Amino acid sequence: MNATLPEQLDVLVVGAGFAGLAAVAKILAADPTADVTVIERASDVGGTWRDNTYPGCACDVPTSLYSFSFAPSPKWSHTFARQPELFDYLRSVVDRLDLNDRIVTNCELQSATWDEVNKRWSVQTSQGSASARVLVAATGALSTPKIPDVPGIDTFSGTVFHSATWNHEHDLTGERVAVIGTGASAVQFVPEIVDRAERLTVFQRTPAWVIPRLDRTIGRLERTLYERIPLAHRAVRGVIYGYREAYVTVLADNPWLLPAVKVFAKSNLKRQVKNPVKRAALTPDYAPGCKRLLLSNDWLPTLDRPDVDLVTSGLTSVTENGVVDASGRNHEVDTIIFATGFTPTEPPVSHLLRGNDGRTLAEHWGGSPQAHLGTTVAGFPNLFLMYGPNTNLGHSSIVYMLESQANYVVSALHAMKDRRIAAVEVNESAQRQHNSWVDSALDGTVWNAGGCSSWYLDANGRNSTMWPTYTFRFRNKTREFDVPNYRLVSDALDSDNEVVSA
């Protein structure tokens, strides 16, 4: 990855994780001569699978599905891949598809402003400026750690870090450790560090439903079969895709079936947690799936240990030598680890993008992200979002959604080329109609009506995160660029930026 940032280019992709690599791979597959460059703020590709290196970090979607359909790998060692394998996989995709010369690393986006006169994006980066006809924002929804502003945190004399920026140089052996948060990251790293620490104090705001992770080692014979008979691997992917899609039948279409899931999860909780006080504290009061179901075989037994304290009264402040809960008790600790997630409903990139009226994307959204098909936004011509609003899933692989969005971008580029179009901007009415449908479709789902408060809901209380139905329906909607829903501006060289009909 020794590319340099061109001053003028056709397509600029921001971010080299799953989203950005899906976009550039699909663009080049459709046109190997395409003028497309990727900028990445870090020194390597990989996105969240480069940054999250905490102990036990792994995927919670079967890896046969959580990988590119156009770049299958028969080498996975487990059905749920670990972080190092996923990171290596993404780097191997770059090599396999010969993308190195397209990626500019250590190049952070600082701002991007739509130039209405020239119909281009004026981009400022840490490596200089550039002008791009099309901008693809592929920075991800889970890229910036969220650390709560806790009173007294600056006075703490010990070590503090977020799980997404794990401090590997700090030895937890014999330490008293406070873990703030009990989400998808905590359930993975807490069991990994419990034997090293002298004592763990886990702060839980809301309990989560936990079911077993049906992980297994993939043997050499099976890997050889996949390598020699790729069709067998594709068949496994298809089966996994099918049964994961079936989850929607319960989570969205028939939530009256959720009590059966609750019975199973409660049985799992009763079997793994013998302490009745802790078991009661770990029992959610909302429907399974309202928050993401957590997959783990060792999280609950770890919390049941006598050397692990479970605090449910909330973190209120930090002192020089500890953390204080809502009851006023000071828990003396040596290290604080925040497992408090990210900012999916207000992605940092939204503060860097300015549309045709000079306002940022964040200002347009006003705390409630909305887009057409999760990809384009009225007022922001030639901008395509990857993993945009209402594209997250509670049941399947986001990689499938990202490939669908990448197909949509390619279709848009083809339409622009064929029609000699300088700029495309989604009509407000089309965007409004799509989001009205999304809101209506989400109304009866467990993500909206399950009785919990989750990170799926934005500052305005709207679910601007989840896709409400089956993923194949999203793929059908994004299969072709829906030209009639867009304002088209013809090529400046041909007709003085005339607005043309679809």
Digit-coded pLDDT (tens) for 242-268: 999 999 998 888 888 899 999 999 999
Read off the pLDDT band of 344 (50, 70, 90). Answer: low
Burial class (CB in 10 A: 0-12, 13-18, 19+), 263: exposed
Q: What pLDDT score was predicted for residue 384? A: 98
**Single-letter code of the amino acid located at 471:** T
CA distance 137 to 20: 8
Q: What pLDDT score was predicted for residue 500? A: 55
Bridge-based pairing of strands 315-318 and 322-325 is antiparallel
**Nearest-CA neighbor of 26 among 113, 111, 138, 140?**
138
Bridge-based pairing of strands 109-115 and 315-318 is unpaired
Q: What pLDDT score was predicted for residue 502? A: 52
CA distance 385 to 140: 9
Q: Is the pLDDT of residue 497 over 70?
A: no
- How far is the first Cα of the chain from the last one, in angstroms, to the nearest whole number? 40
CA distance 419 to 415: 6
Name every residue whose Cβ is closer than 8 Å to that of residue 203 and which is 6 or more positions away in sequence. Answer: 178, 179, 180, 181, 182, 311, 314, 315, 323, 325
Q: What is the mean pLDDT of residues 63-81?
A: 95
Q: Name the region of 250 (left: φ>0; alpha: ψ -120 to 50; beta: rest).
A: alpha
Tokens found for residue 422: 């300088």
Is residue 60 a contact partner of residue 295, using CB atoms and an 8 Å limit? yes
Q: What pLDDT score was predicted for residue 145? A: 81
Burial class (CB in 10 A: 0-12, 13-18, 19+), 148: exposed
Beta bridge partners of 336: 160, 178
Q: Which helix (H) or strand (E) holds 424?
A: strand 421-426
Is residue 66 a contact partner of residue 208, using CB atoms and an 8 Å limit? no
Read off the pLDDT band of 493 (50, 70, 90). Answer: very low
Which CA distances in Å does 476 have to 123, 383, 452, 471?
32, 21, 31, 9
CA distance 322 to 240: 45
* pLDDT, mean over the chain: 94
Length in residues, the chain: 502
Is residue 37 a contact partner of residue 9, using CB atoms and an 8 Å limit? yes
| Start-end of H helices in 97-163 | none
CA distance 423 to 421: 6
DSSP state of 249: I
pLDDT digits (tens, 9 = 90+) for 360-382: 999 999 999 999 999 999 999 99
Q: What is the mean pLDDT of residues 416-440?
A: 97
Q: Is the pLDDT of residue 494 over 80?
A: no
DSSP state of 329: -
Read off the pLDDT band of 345 (50, 70, 90). Answer: confident
Tokens found for residue 333: 């600790």
CA distance 132 to 382: 9
Q: What pLDDT score was predicted for residue 495? A: 45
Q: What value does the CA radius of gyration of the chain take, rounded to a whole number of Å?
A: 23
Tokens found for residue 112: 């991007």
Read off the pLDDT band of 453 (50, 70, 90). Answer: confident
Q: What percent of the chain has pLDDT over 70?
A: 97
Q: What pLDDT score was predicted for residue 147? A: 83
